[in-house]
Each structure stands twice: as structure tokens, then as C-alpha cells.
Structure 1
Amino acid sequence: MMPLWLDLLRTPMAAPETPFLRVMRYVWQGLCLALATTIPLLAPLKHLLDVRASLLIAGLILLTATHGLIYFRVKNRADNGGIGQPGEGE
């Protein structure tokens, strides 16, 4: 039985973040922030933009979800890329 701290040291960590992944993360965070600020402002936006305000928010939701799925898939692939096959290197 190995101590917990030693077991945690042997656990694979996330892959180093590449510049491409960093940009993708910043874009995703920006989309989330934009969506979080436009939803409470729906009433003033509807007054200014009429029906286009709802379309704007719907587009932000779709864009945020799509970019998030792509980002997390690429991030997961990068994290799992550095992990060797079971039994390798032991």
C-alpha cells in the first residue's frame, strides 16, 4: 500500500497548454462572459434591437456550446495524448 501523496505524484497530470489551446480557452471564456452579460440585459436589448436581441442571444448560446464542445474535445485529446499504454514504463 502506497501513501496517498505518492499515489497522487504518480497520477498523470494535464498536458502543457499549447498557444492554440490557450487561444481556444480564452475565446471560450470570452463567449461565456458575453453570454452571461447579455442574458440579464435582455429587456434593454429587446428595446434597442427588437427581435434581433433574441437572435443575438440564441446565436451566442449556439456559438458558445459549439466552441465549447470543440475545445473540450481537443483539450481531452491533448491530455490523453501524453499518456502511454497501460503497463508501459513500469
Structure 2
Amino acid sequence: MPLWLDLLRIPMAAPESAGLRRMRLVWQGLCLSVALLVGFFARVHSALGRAAPCLAAGLLVAAALYTWLYARRKNAADTAFLEQTGKAG
């Protein structure tokens, strides 16, 4: 059987738990917030003044750290699921 066909038959991710779903939604919200802040930075800067760059930096750091945390937990859940089902490489 070709490798690509074999990979199609193997589940590549664990079913999403309530905790991971919540984390994914928070992560998506952080990403959307970063995108909106970047897109409307001139307006935010005129409204907040010197606090705007601090807000941007804080949001970027929060998004980066949360991305790292979410990726670790998602990867651990996927690995545990694949080991449990006996399909881990």
C-alpha cells in the first residue's frame, strides 16, 4: 500500500477534549486580537498614546507563550491518543 494511502487511514489527531477546545478558542482569540491590533494600530495609538506599543508587545508575548503552551498540550494529547490506539510510529 502506498504511504499516502496508509496515512489517510491513520487518525492524525486525538478527539478534542473540552479543555483543549477552550485552549484553542482562547488561542484563536489571541491571534485575532493581534491581527486587529496590527491592522488598526494607528487608531489604537492615537487613542491610547504611549500605552499602545506596550499593549502590542504584551499581546504578542501572550500570544507567543500561549501558542507554545497549546502546542505542547495538543501534541501530548495526540501522542497519548496514538499510543493508546496502537498506531504510534
Q: Which runs of 5+ in 2 are unaligned?
A: none
Runs of 4+ in 1 over 2 A off after TM superposition: none
In structure 1, the partner of 2:45 is: 46
What is the number of residues matched between the two proteins?
84
**One-letter identity of the residue aligned with 2:39:** P
Task: Compare the two structures and name the one with the higher helix fraction.
Answer: 2
Q: Which runs of 5+ in 1 are unaligned?
A: none
Q: Conserved in 1, the CA contact under 8 Å of 2:24 and 2:70?
A: yes
**One-letter identity of the residue aligned with 1:34:** S
2:83 and 2:35 mapped to 1: Cα distance?
A: 39
**One-letter identity of the residue aligned with 1:15:** A
Q: Conserved in 1, the CA contact under 8 Å of 2:31 and 2:63?
A: yes
How far 1:83 moved relative to its partner?
Answer: 2.3
Name the % identity: 44
1:74 aligns with 2:73: yes
TM-score (norm 1): 0.83
RMSD: 1.9
